[in-house]
Amino acid sequence: MTVILLAYLLGSLQPGLWIGQTFFKKDIREHGSGNTGTTNTFRVLGKTAGIIVLILDMAKGSIATLLPIWFGVAIHPMLAGAFAIIGHVFSIFIRFKGGKAVATSAGVVLAVQPILLLGLAVVWVSVLYLSSMVSLASILTLIVAAIASLFVGDWVFTLVIWIAMIIVFVRHRSNIERIKNGEENKVSFGLGQAKK
């Protein structure tokens, strides 16, 4: 239970929020999408802060997933990773709100299936280039991850990835509506990039 609690607390850390408040005097919950994760950090605080938060959000997922191995606890690492994802989305530090779980989920996969994550990164970048939509890239990549997980041969890994996919879908409900209506925000990268 201690490892699970630590994993949840690690996931609950919100570097995007804290970096914004400390260095930019901004609460990113009051800007952009209102989320505290990587994408909104890029949007509100810029590229440097976004890259730092991406690394930290992934790192907390990876570290949480590896805790059972480091402590020699007989818990599947992916279960600890699942609680890091839950912590990111429902952070105890900000009244059980948080981000959309994409970067933290990537960190969880990195800890146990780094080659798979490399393939997923290619999918994400490719979809982003074709659509210029971070949300669409994230959603489609999680779908690919869920399908790929069926061939890993580890039912716990598969279960956690499918849970992560569902969480990502739920957290992107408004994005999905905007995509369907042709109103989703676009980034200045790729074939469909936002007009300047």
Print pLDDT tens along the chain (196 aa): 899 999 999 999 999 999 999 999 999 999 988 999 999 999 999 999 999 999 999 999 999 999 999 999 999 999 999 999 999 999 999 999 999 999 999 999 999 999 999 999 999 999 999 999 999 999 999 999 999 999 999 999 999 999 999 999 999 999 999 999 999 989 888 898 865 5
Give, in order, the Cα–Cα distances in Å from 14 to each of 10, 17, 107.
Answer: 9, 6, 15
Q: One-letter amino acid identity for 94?
A: I
Alpha carbons 14 and 120: distance in angstroms, whole number: 24
Alpha carbons 117 and 109: distance in angstroms, whole number: 6
Q: Please give the pLDDT value at position 64.
A: 98
Closest CA to 161 of 98, 77, 95: 77
Q: Please give the pLDDT value at position 192.
A: 80
Q: Please give the pLDDT value at position 59.
A: 98
Q: Please give the pLDDT value at position 83.
A: 98
Q: Please give the pLDDT value at position 33.
A: 87
The vertex-171 CA angle with 166 and 172, nearest 5°, equals 100
Q: Are 46 and 111 in contact (CB under 8 A)?
A: no
Burial bucket for residue 1 (CB in 10 Å: 0-12, 13-18, 19+) = exposed
Alpha carbons 169 and 178: distance in angstroms, whole number: 13
Helix, strand or coil, per DSSP, at residue 174 = helix
